[in-house]
Structure 1
Amino acid sequence: MLDQELRASLDAPWVLIVWNDPINLMNYVAHVFRSYFGYSREEAERLMLLVHHEGHAVVASGPREEIERHAQAMHDYGLQATIAKDAP
């Protein structure tokens, strides 16, 4: 039973949250979203504006391991990012 609960926890949707910071320029954040995630210019700018105005934005969702890789990539680009379980 515990194995099933652990597996369900790992397979549950997770989200990647990118946080606003005083260092990175808005154009750079949009560039990262376009180059790493392949978002269109419009979607990258929409997400960047959410980060800028709201303080954070969910930029990806999926299995935990995938989202952890995305978080590491964002850190490599110099962006602040965390992961969280997606709210039901």
Structure 2
Amino acid sequence: MTPSTLEQHDTELRERVAADVPWQTIVWDDPVNLMTYVTYVFRSYFGFPRKKAERLMMQVHTEGRAIVASGNREQMEHHVQAMHGYGLQATVARAET
């Protein structure tokens, strides 16, 4: 292979790997919503068991944020819109590699 072919192959490989990196839904702490309400949202929307919902809620409360879902970008954007509908602050971010 010539250098230009190697460089092209390397670029294509990096693009494929980047496309495989999942996206995340992040819920952020806010001064408005009660911890019990955040737990309720996690249980009712995501279907998390009580212990997982409470653990994620405490992570939001103590660390300022929690990753509550990961997957393709469209799914994560749907989750963010749903969290906004519940009055929670949420964003989509590409997962770190």
TM-score computed with the length of structure 1 as normaliser:
0.88
Task: Give how far 1:16 is off.
Answer: 0.5
C-alpha separation in 2, matches of 1:19 and 1:31: 15
Match of 2:46 in 1: 37
Structure possessing the higher radius of gyration over alpha carbons: 2
2:96 aligned counterpart, secondary structure? coil
C-alpha separation in 1, matches of 2:41 and 2:34: 11
Task: Give how far 1:74 is off.
Answer: 0.1
Match of 1:16 in 2: 25
C-alpha separation in 2, matches of 1:26 and 1:19: 12
- Structure 1: unaligned runs, 5 residues or longer: none
Match of 1:81 in 2: 90
Quote the RMSD (CA, aligned, Å): 1.8
Structure 1 stretches of 4+ with a deviation exceeding 3 A read none
Percent identical: 63
Match of 2:76 in 1: 67
C-alpha separation in 1, matches of 2:23 and 2:51: 24
Query: Matched residue pairs, number?
Result: 84
TM-score computed with the length of structure 2 as normaliser:
0.80
